[in-house]
Amino acid sequence: MKAVYLNEHGERDVLQYGDLPEPELPADHVMIEVKACALNHLDLWMRRGIPGYRFIYPFILGSDIAGVVHAAGSAARGLNKGDRVLVNPGVSCGHCEACLAGRDNFCKDYGIIGEHRSGGYAQYVCVPRANILPFPAEMSFEQAACIPLVYLTAWQMVVDKLQIKPGDVILVQAAGSGVSSAAIQIAKLHGATVYATSGSDEKCRKAMELGADACINYNTEDVARRVKELTGKRGVDAVVEHVGGQVFESSLKCLRWGGRVVTCGATTGFSVDLDLRHVFFKQTEILGSTMGSKGELFRIIRMVEAGKLKPVLDRVLPLHEAREAHRLLEERAAFGKIVLVPG
């Protein structure tokens, strides 16, 4: 099969396009013919390498996969060859207390396709039967691939962790990212006033088209000062954050007393300077979040089909242009998702 794969970590030139053997098909797995695979910042981290991670090379990136059933293992029931399917990227053991309680992303063996096992930058990929989702009606493969990882992540952050409700005021950092473009819509769906940040006036315009009530260009304005102006010096109830570094520090300054910040990543750096006096005196809550439960994606897909949530597709590139796709993501040249397709 054709694939883009790694034999080492490094810059974009370590992404190799060529032929690899088709994956083996375990009894409880399904082989998917990949029609579209969306990029995430996770792909950049995996390509560059993270201390403590051990890869079996060649390794294939790609977590957000849409395609058709090519073959099903003997224990993978209820599917037919050619069925259009979407893949849930979170993999867990399926039998521990967390999994059986519907909290599979708390499983000690939890992993993500494209991070802990090879993913969708390929012609075929094998995934557990439990990770097969219904394909959203009236949607292209490219649009569908924009849904799983970012909407599942944003849903847990906004709904489960922050418990956003009507009347809340929320700040979503870095509106052009996949997670943030999803978080804006989910927060509006739950009745919040949403302020967003982005690095250009054009991206701010797009954020407001998604539903943001205001957007702050962090390259031309002081975010914390502008938030205080928008909220009458009160501050926001909650912040959605995945940038890290100085942005995390700025997020804390934007909160009201007793406010909450939730983070799912650190695209600009894992270390932050944190004055704990501002945390305990203002009674700030700092929440961590990774992915979400498998069941939540079924609800999200129904919201998409009802037109209440909209996948944000920036552009589509052929698989062999994966290096260019990584360049665009690294340079923050996209608003929403970049998707790779066969060819």
Q: What is the DSSP string of 44-74?
A: HHHHH--TT----SSB----EEEEEEEEE-T
Across all residues in the chain, what is the average pLDDT?
94
Nearest to 259 by CA among 282, 233, 228, 230: 282
Q: What is the pLDDT of residues 106-139, one digit of tens each?
A: 999 999 999 989 999 999 999 999 999 999 988 9
Q: Tell me which residues of the chain have a pLDDT lower than 70.
A: 269
Q: What is the pLDDT of residues 162-179, one digit of tens each?
A: 999 999 999 999 999 999
d(CA 299, CA 148): 11
Cβ-count burial of 320 within 10 angstroms (0-12 exposed, 13-18 middle, 19+ buried)? middle
Cα→Cα distances 160→124, 186, 207, Å? 34, 12, 23
Q: Is the dihedral of CA 69, 73, 75, 81 positive or negative?
A: positive
Nearest to 210 by CA among 229, 191, 182, 238: 182
Tell me the two tokens of residue 24: 């083996």
* C-alpha atoms less than 13 angstroms from C-alpha of 266 in its C-beta half-sphere: 11
- pLDDT confidence of residue 36: 98
d(CA 58, CA 17): 11
Query: Domains in the chain and their CATH numbers?
Result: 2-147+311-341 (3.90.180.10), 151-288 (3.90.180.10)
- pLDDT confidence of residue 98: 95
Nearest to 112 by CA among 259, 291, 303: 291
- pLDDT confidence of residue 229: 96
- pLDDT confidence of residue 266: 79
- pLDDT confidence of residue 28: 95
Helix 178-189 and helix 201-210, axial crossing angle in degrees, nearest 10: 40
Please state whether the predicted TM-score (pTM) of the whole model is above 0.95. Answer: no
- pLDDT confidence of residue 30: 97
- pLDDT confidence of residue 55: 84
Tell me the two tokens of residue 314: 């920036």
d(CA 236, CA 228): 8
